[in-house]
Amino acid sequence: RRKQAVLSRALTAAGVPAQSLARIRVPVGLPIGAETPEEIAVSVVAELVAWRRGVTSPAPAASTANPSPTVPRSRP
């Protein structure tokens, strides 16, 4: 949100019309519990794909591979 506010102020000062500013997206990623830079990048890309496909609230994917609600973490 801060980045969007800073960008909006700078573009307004540069003379960009408010109508154009309203079209700018500043994705922050989907709430997937991302912690590493790589995971955050994946969540941002997922948000962009969802937006592009018109999905307003992505639902978690169903998986039969791990029926447990808690997915074990494996980190190197």
Q: Taking the complete model, does pTM exceed 0.85, yes or no?
A: no
- Give the per-residue pLDDT at 57: 72
* Contact in structure between 50 and 30 (CB atoms under 8 Å): yes
Q: Where do the structural domains in the chain lie, given as residue ranges?
A: 27-55
- Give the per-residue pLDDT at 11: 94
**Whether the predicted pLDDT of 16 surpasses 80:** yes
Q: What average pLDDT does the structure give for the chain?
A: 81
Q: pLDDT (tens digit, 9 = 90+) per residue, 20-55?
A: 988 888 888 888 899 999 999 999 999 999 989 998
Confidence of residue 2 (pLDDT cuts 50, 70, 90): confident
User: Which pairs count as long-range contacts for 25-30, CB under 8 Å and 24+ apart, including other chains?
Assistant: 25/51, 27/51, 28/1, 30/58
